[in-house]
Structure 1
Amino acid sequence: MTHMHKASALTLSFLLAGLAALAPFTIDTYLPAFHTLAQDFHTDNLAIQQSLTAYLLPYALMTLWHGAISDAIGRLRTIYIGLGIFTLASIGCAFATNVETLWFFRVIQGLSAGAGNVVARAMVRDLFEGVMAQRVMAQLQMMFGLAPAIAPIMGGWLLGIHWQAIFVFLALYAGLAMLCVQRWLPETMPPEKRRPLSARAVWQGYAQVFGDREYLKLVVAVGANFAGFFVYVLAAPVFLVEHLGLGPQQFGWMFIPTVCGMMLGSYLARHSAGRYSAHRIIRLGYGWMAMAAILNLLVCWLLPPQPLWNIAPIVLYNIGSALVLPNLSIAALDRMPKLRGTASSGQAFMQMVLATVSAGLLIPLLWHHPAGLALGMAGYLLLGFLATRASLVWQPIKPASQDK
């Protein structure tokens, strides 16, 4: 472990986790305010829903660039620029007077919010080695998973003040993060190790990564499994308020148990690693997710909407999704041993692309009835299963990594 002169390992791990959590906070904190925003801007839920698309698409595109930028100008400068722009954009959202202005500043948020997340993950490997690196990365993953549970609850509380307070909170979050970075986080990309920013080199790296068909199958599977749950995250303002009759301060009824399901699946994945083969874990996970998706469809078709039985299948789905994620993700990264940073960004990019497609196209078509959202989950699960079924990880023999 290196660069430990400014803070302890525990402080650094929490700070990096806080940077990684900014992106999900930006998605989920304002979900309880959708109806209020629609009323204040004299528009409908669909127009406010498109503010999610306005955030997610630029976020996905910039995911491909933040790492390369930090390699060229340094980790800390990239974080400072990203957080500074994000702070100003959040203030712009707070003072928006119409939905078009909200869209514009959400785009700016999307372009800047990923810097902390992407660079934080790169800094884990810069700062830590071996078991400590695994523990810190697990800390980041846990914070990244907890944020969707905490953010809507905080958003509901802040909505009690005013919807503007939500975006002021995001600005303060980013501002505080900048102060903490300045105080405790060391620069881990010294000038002598920096590489010139080359669009051609970045493009060639991604062309090589996405040109590998096995890698492409795996990242599509990871993204589709994630999107099966994210359908409900993006549709939460309609699903929870209009269909299940919950209030803006009750979003935790869905987000807390679903994140607990995700954490349970992650625990089972760690517990089963080394005890069972990857293909057995993956097959078990998909069987579990299929059971949850079928149960979800039956509940939506046969029973009237009710929080307990409409949310329970989503929790069960997340257990299976988190169970298969590590094996699929590691298999994808192992396809590119010399380009793992690029491969990691490509995986995050695929997740965000599918989330953007959901936000902009699918959710407005599906959210009119709980059964529509259940079909969305089942459709993404089928896509993930077909991609995994066609890959080498489905087979009993573990695929060898490909040296690129």
Structure 2
Amino acid sequence: MTPSPISARLATLLAALAAIGPFAVDTYLPAFPHIRAELGASQIEVQQTLTVFMAMLALMVLWHGALADRFGRRRVLLAATAVFALASLACALAPTIEWLWAGRALQGMSGGAGMVVGRAVIRDLHDGAQAQRLMARVMMIFGLAPAVAPLLGAALLALAGWRAIFLFLAAFGAGLAWLTWRYLPETLDPGARQALHPASLLRGYASVLGHPAFLLLAVVAAVNFNGFFIYLMSAPVFVLEHLQLSETGFAWLFVPSVGGMMIGSMLSERMAGSWSPRRTIGVGFAVMVGAAVLNLGVAVLLPPGVPQSVLPVGLFTLGLALVSPSLSLLALDLFPARRGLASSCQAFLQLGLNAFTAGVLAPLLWGSTVSLAVGMGVFVAFGLLAFALWLRGGFPARR
């Protein structure tokens, strides 16, 4: 199916809004040594700028969806992009590592709205195969971010230093605020809006987070993504030390990863309506398991290098992108009246694990390519187990 121009524009805008988080992470990865030198910080202190960002991202996504269910999708996205722009400006002016932590915390508080609210927008507008197509198209465009961001960051670093990266992020946030104001329609009917009363919110969170099928689907999505995320968070060590590449060598990791993600998203879009969600997820898992086994074999049998150490990661992201749209839609369909809140809970579980991976697991695993490969394998094994439990559960489709 060829999307209309309006659908293509909407998909591009939603993908750009969702990409705020990845851009806030990936653009400054090449600058870690420069930040460490200029601010007099240790490697771990600079790494914690990632951890505080991920922690605040995970905490705030619990509220983005509830706020979007109450005030509408458009208002929340406008406010979040504006705050992100201001937070990025604060990072650009940081005189100390503590100041940078504070700016990154504000970026995290605002950077997850596009991902959370965008999923709700898609489900507001479409259902079934059409929703999967739009979700996959958004993911395909969104998948460009991890490839473009570190290359852009490296170019800005070479031209004007690491502070220019955060000035770019400020301009990116401001531009998205304008585009949202200009082009994004409000998709939540006023009659469908939910109260922000504490008792109502607590009941909503308890309903979503206490639903076994939702939890299993959310866990599957979270652990699958973290099979790739450990490489993302370990990129400075993996690329600069293990692969012995320069700061421009981040493309060796990100280009295959994004290529796999885009191919997987195109397959998911193409198969929507032809394959059932369960079949799509099953095929995606087969690809991810094969990639994890290949990755471990390469790490054990071959010395670190390109392309052998990065191609299995690209194959893994292909399977990941094939699986992710169907998992998200299956989870959101359980709560048709509170999609924003359900999307928040889904993002919270994923980003909470992301924060733990960034702050604890990545430093433990980045010591060798073998330990990173083991980490990928363990994550996909947990994802496969959770999906098998969901299949055996016989859960109702909706609540």
TM-score normalized by the length of structure 2: 0.90
Counterpart residue identity of residue 100, structure 2: L
More moved, 151-160 vs 127-136: 127-136
Summarize deviations over 1:169-208 as a string: whole Å, max 9, x none. Answer: 0001111222223333344457666443223322221211
Deviation, 1:108, is 0.7
Q: Does the C-alpha gap of structure 1 residues 73 and 245 become closer, same or farther in structure 2, counting only changes over 3 Å?
A: same
In structure 2, distance between residues paired with 1:284 and 1:195: 37
Q: SS at 1:43's partner residue?
A: coil
* Equivalent residue runs for 1:81-100 within 5 Å: 81-100=79-98
In structure 1, distance between residues paired with 2:125 and 2:330: 24
Deviation, 1:278, is 4.8
* Equivalent residue runs for 1:2-81 within 5 Å: 8-81=6-79
In structure 2, distance between residues paired with 1:289 and 1:346: 25
In structure 1, distance between residues paired with 2:22 and 2:148: 10
In structure 2, distance between residues paired with 1:119 and 1:166: 26
In the alignment, which residue of structure 1 is the partner of 2:246? Answer: 247
In structure 1, distance between residues paired with 2:277 and 2:188: 35
Counterpart residue identity of residue 216, structure 1: L
Summarize deviations over 1:95-124 as a string: whole Å, max 9, x none. Answer: 112211111110111111122333333334
Q: Does the C-alpha gap of structure 1 residues 178 and 402 become closer, same or farther in structure 2, counting only changes over 3 Å?
A: closer
In structure 1, distance between residues paired with 2:377 and 2:102: 33
Q: Does the C-alpha gap of structure 1 residues 120 and 265 become closer, same or farther in structure 2, counting only changes over 3 Å?
A: closer
In the alignment, which residue of structure 2 is the partner of 1:137? Answer: 135
In the alignment, which residue of structure 2 is the partner of 1:345? Answer: 344
In structure 2, distance between residues paired with 1:210 and 1:72: 19
Deviation, 1:326, is 3.5
In the alignment, which residue of structure 1 is the partner of 2:396? Answer: 401
Deviation, 1:364, is 0.8
Counterpart residue identity of residue 361, structure 1: V
In structure 2, distance between residues paired with 1:73 and 1:277: 34
Q: Does the C-alpha gap of structure 1 residues 332 and 295 become closer, same or farther in structure 2, counting only changes over 3 Å?
A: same
1:116 to 109, 114, 125: 114
In structure 2, distance between residues paired with 1:15 and 1:377: 31
In structure 2, distance between residues paired with 1:44 and 1:305: 26
Q: Does the C-alpha gap of structure 1 residues 359 and 276 become closer, same or farther in structure 2, counting only changes over 3 Å?
A: same
In the alignment, which residue of structure 2 is the partner of 1:3? Answer: none
In structure 1, distance between residues paired with 2:249 and 2:164: 18
More moved, 361-370 vs 345-354: 345-354
Counterpart residue identity of residue 80, structure 1: L
Q: Does the C-alpha gap of structure 1 residues 19 and 287 become closer, same or farther in structure 2, counting only changes over 3 Å?
A: closer
Confirm whether residue 380 of structure 1 aligns to residue 375 of structure 2. no
Whether the aligned pair in 1 keeps the contact of 2:116 and 2:340 (CA below 8 Å) is no
Q: SS at 2:308's partner residue?
A: helix
Deviation, 1:10, is 4.3
In the alignment, which residue of structure 2 is the partner of 1:166? Answer: 165
In the alignment, which residue of structure 2 is the partner of 1:148? Answer: 146
Deviation, 1:391, is 1.9
In the alignment, which residue of structure 2 is the partner of 1:258? Answer: 257
More moved, 23-32 vs 281-290: 281-290
Summarize deviations over 1:19-43 as a string: whole Å, max 9, x none. Answer: 2221211111111111111121222
In structure 2, distance between residues paired with 1:148 and 1:112: 19
Whether the aligned pair in 1 keeps the contact of 2:117 and 2:340 (CA below 8 Å) is no
Whether the aligned pair in 1 keeps the contact of 2:365 and 2:375 (CA below 8 Å) is yes
Whether the aligned pair in 2 keeps the contact of 1:24 and 1:144 (CA below 8 Å) is no
Whether the aligned pair in 1 keeps the contact of 2:27 and 2:149 (CA below 8 Å) is yes
In structure 2, distance between residues paired with 1:280 and 1:121: 22
In the alignment, which residue of structure 1 is the partner of 2:331? Answer: 332
Deviation, 1:225, is 0.6
In structure 1, distance between residues paired with 2:221 and 2:57: 18
More moved, 188-197 vs 300-309: 188-197
Deviation, 1:261, is 0.9
Whether the aligned pair in 1 keeps the contact of 2:256 and 2:314 (CA below 8 Å) is yes
In structure 2, distance between residues paired with 1:329 and 1:42: 42
Whether the aligned pair in 2 keeps the contact of 1:337 and 1:401 (CA below 8 Å) is no
Work out the number of aligned pairs and report it.
395
Which runs of 5 or more residues in structure 2 are unaligned? Answer: none
Q: SS at 1:251's partner residue?
A: helix
More moved, 188-197 vs 289-298: 188-197
In structure 1, distance between residues paired with 2:306 and 2:109: 35
Q: Does the C-alpha gap of structure 1 residues 132 and 209 become closer, same or farther in structure 2, counting only changes over 3 Å?
A: closer
Q: Does the C-alpha gap of structure 1 residues 8 and 95 become closer, same or farther in structure 2, counting only changes over 3 Å?
A: same
In the alignment, which residue of structure 2 is the partner of 1:230? Answer: 229
In structure 1, distance between residues paired with 2:83 and 2:58: 17
* Equivalent residue runs for 1:293-304 within 5 Å: 293-304=292-303
Deviation, 1:92, is 1.0
In structure 2, distance between residues paired with 1:53 and 1:143: 26
Confirm whether residue 391 of structure 1 aligns to residue 390 of structure 2. yes
Q: SS at 1:308's partner residue?
A: coil
More moved, 99-108 vs 127-136: 127-136
Counterpart residue identity of residue 87, structure 2: A
In structure 2, distance between residues paired with 1:179 and 1:333: 28
In the alignment, which residue of structure 2 is the partner of 1:102? Answer: 100
In the alignment, which residue of structure 2 is the partner of 1:319? Answer: 318
Deviation, 1:295, is 1.8
TM-score normalized by the length of structure 1: 0.89
Residue identity over aligned pairs, in percent, reads 45
Counterpart residue identity of residue 147, structure 2: A
Deviation, 1:88, is 1.5
Deviation, 1:216, is 1.3
In structure 2, distance between residues paired with 1:328 and 1:15: 22
Summarize deviations over 1:49-92 as a string: whole Å, max 9, x none. Answer: 11111011111121111122133334333223222221121111
In structure 1, distance between residues paired with 2:215 and 2:191: 34
Whether the aligned pair in 2 keeps the contact of 1:13 and 1:139 (CA below 8 Å) is yes
In the alignment, which residue of structure 2 is the partner of 1:4? Answer: none
